[in-house]
Amino acid sequence: MQAALDDWRTSPLDARTKAMLGFLEKMTLTPDQLSAADVKPLRDVGLSDDAIEDAIHACGLFNIFDRLADSFEFEIPDEAAFQMSATMLLKRGYNV
């Protein structure tokens, strides 16, 4: 996990994950340069259109949340609060 966080390109992740991370990075950093041609390598490594669409939605939402958090200076919880949230999510999932 740490290797992926340090640099996903050189980490021991599988080709499908690396392809998706490259796509999502481009979507995040240079969305104006993204085109339909960028989806072909994802399909070439065996990712389904449903999987690609799910990743796009998740990434898009996180990008929006990050921009909102930066704009409104959201308070970042401490480690204990993150642990408590993680425990609750593992126990209950995202359903409210």
Reported as a single tens digit per residue, the pLDDT across 52-64 is 999 999 999 999 9
Higher pLDDT, 45 or 95: 45
Dump pLDDT digits (tens) for 29-82.
Answer: 999 999 999 999 999 999 999 999 999 999 999 999 999 999 999 998 999 999
Decide: 4 and 13 in contact? Cβ < 8 Å: yes
Specify the pTM.
0.77
Burial 54-65 (b: 16+ CB within 10 A, else e): ebbeebeeeeee
